[in-house]
A and B are shown apart, each in its own frame.
Chain A
Amino acid sequence: MPTLIEQARSNKPAAASILPRAIWPLLVGLAIGALMFYVIGPGMGDYPSKIVLIAGINIILAVSLTVVNGFTGQFSMGHAGFMAVGGYVAATITYYGSMKLFGSADPAGGVLSFTGGADKPTALARWGDALFIGSCLMGGVGAAIAGYIVGLPSLRLRGDYLAIVTLGFGEIVRVLLQGTHEQIQPWRVEDALAKPVYELAISLGGPKGFQLLPTYTTLFWVYLFVVVTLIICYRVKNSSTGRAFLSIREDEIAAQAMGVDITKYKVRAFVLAAFFAGVAGGLYAMDIGAINAGDLGFLKSFDIIIMVVLGGMGSISGAALAAIILTILPELLRNPPPVWPVGLVLIALIAGVSSYRKRFRWKPIIVIAIASTLLEVGRQIALSKGINVADFRLILYALLLITMMLVRPQGIFGIHEIWEILPGYARREAARNGARGGSQGGKP
């Protein structure tokens, strides 16, 4: 009889069948990224497309945190810390790397470029975007290493204790980064060239933040990474590693009894989430052209947690949707559009559908009517008094979360994906399993 290892080897799929599976997410990412960059971005105008870009970065952050907080059930409160590590690593490599390679900290265009960059000081500078994207990946690796280092000792802790340790980690990162030396300004390239690399690596601007970074981030790069993050996290969820994560969330003792090395898998979840947070940090830094550790403290971590909780702990699509809503909402609040037309349409829809089904429903109609009226009254008051509603967004967030916890404590989608709660999903899934045949389909 063959040993277990031999059997496992024979189950391994051939390289030829892996390759398309490995490549198509990248192709989809490239396509969606190009679509966003060439069609949707220009179609929306500068300001809205900036919001969409930030929404993309938030999607990466929220979805990656879902791996830890949602799948594995570990409450991490230091996600912004990983973002900061990744952001600073990426910013350092891009900024000082540009100086060393291209002799200037300005964005350089060329091959892989979407930034234009007409005058190229050197032939090397044609690779500016390659440097940028490589540094974002290095930021991810740096954050993943940080995740591993934090993970090993602290993931033996549970619940509240782990939350406190991760909170502490985020603050340590912030304090360390704020304690770095003055940055070497872009007009003093010779100074930067003269200094050894390790000295550059601690000249990150300190409390003033790391500024005047070349702005390479575009909708293309952000949405490429959004697609890749979404697909990787979804695949992980449905892999044996993902099952191990879920089993840890459900019952640690039983997971151990099934042969799951719980510390190992908790660390894996942290490393994976930290990697994507690091990449997001790089995209964020090179979008704004500056990164300041002071902005990436526990408040930022909470923002990400709120997205995950709102979307549903364990739902990738839920976290992504919540990230979009929570990015766009404050912008809408700046100059709130009237919502009562939407309310009217909703009421008409509910009234139509429910009377068609001969089960007329008053309750949702009344709730929507009252809510639309209140919102409109609030909007008129804000307009007449010249109040900026966006200033109150934290209060609104809090109200939103309290309402959410009362009405739907599991988040918008709970632990399910959007398509899993659509009607007919169970039926289609059963048909699919039936077609696969044999052991999956249960006989009644």
Chain B
Amino acid sequence: MPMLEVKGLNVHYGAIHALHGIDIAVEQGQIVTLIGCNGAGKSTTLRTISGLIRPSAGQILFEGKPISGMPAHQIVRLGLAQSPEGRGIFANLTVAENLDMGAFARSDKAQIAKDREHALTLFPRVRERLKQNAGTLSGGEQQMLAMARALMARPRLLLLDEPSLGLAPQIVQTIFKIIREINRDGTTILLVEQNAHMALEVAHHAYVLEVGRIVMADDAKKLAASDEVRKAYLGIG
């Protein structure tokens, strides 16, 4: 049984039909990516899974348990954390306080302290900035903070929404290296990306979204080699 299963997901924004029956399966221990251009519905899919948007039809199963329509704050407690698009850090709180907020749904102090150490080992740049207001960080540091904060919820499934958004190529490389490390430590990851090149490189499995529909789904290596994806998303050939 896959860890996360999305079946026939439909989402409407008022009269606009944003998602037309999306089917996704995320196997435990994998990195799965959703790629596609602007407005394809990638972020909408992610936000629906994490409970920020209510689906109009369809089913979402997390470890076999239906979670569609459940409020976001309860979904976090099940072990499914999200690093929102545009990072969504708490600008007027310090970096340390931001990390504490990541563990808001937990009360096991000893384990929180350990997870915090682990997150700070993964993101040494965040450790350097602990006392600063989060709003004073650079874009890359903010992204790292958002990911470290999501890890503080000790998720079994981590949802990452466009971690490369607006970052310099070198920082993007670092971020993706860390995504791999997080996955190696045992966290399953669902990654939404416009940077198809990087996403297909780290992912095990990939889905291609076009205007609210899944048009291709395959092993990430095979997709990266396919002519259509190379032409449309990787700009090769």
Contacts and interface: CB of A to CB of B under 8 A. Distances in A.
Is chain B found bound to chain A in the same assembly?
A: yes
Interface of A: 4, 7-8, 11, 240, 243-244, 246-247, 249-251, 253-262, 415, 426, 430, 438-440, 442-444
B93 A254 contact: no
Interface string B114-142: 00110010000001111100000000000
B104 A260 contact: yes
5 contacts: A11-B107, A250-B89, A254-B88, A259-B104, A262-B73
A250 B90 CA distance: 5
Contacts of A444: 128
Nearest to B126: A442
B107 A4 contact: yes
A438 B106 CA distance: 20
A439 B118 CA distance: 10
**10 residue pairs, one from A and one from B, having the closest CB atoms:** A259-B105, A254-B88, A259-B76, A250-B90, A442-B130, A8-B107, A256-B72, A7-B108, A261-B73, A257-B82
Q: How large is the interface on B (under 10, 10 to 19, 20 to 34, 35 or more residues)?
A: 35 or more
Which of A243, A257, A439: most chain B CB closer than 10 A? A257
B43 to A, nearest CB: 11
Contacts, number: 101
A439 B109 CA distance: 12
Contacts of A7: 107-111
B25 interface: no
Nearest to A444: B128
Contacts of A254: 84, 88-90
Given A246-B93, A258-B76, A444-B128, 13 more contacts: A7-B107, A7-B111, A243-B101, A247-B90, A247-B104, A250-B89, A251-B89, A253-B52, A255-B101, A258-B102, A438-B113, A439-B116, A440-B130
Interface in B55-104: 71-73, 76-77, 81-84, 88-93, 96-97, 100-102, 104
A36 B201 CA distance: 71
Nearest to B87: A254
Contacts of A259: 72-73, 76-77, 104-105, 153
B72 A442 contact: no
Nearest to A410: B92
B205 interface: no
A261 B71 contact: yes
A247 B94 CA distance: 11
B149 interface: yes
Contact of A257 (B72, B96, B100): B72
A399 to B, nearest CB: 28
A159 to B, nearest CB: 18
Contacts of B111: 7
Given A253-B88, A258-B104, A439 B113 contact: yes
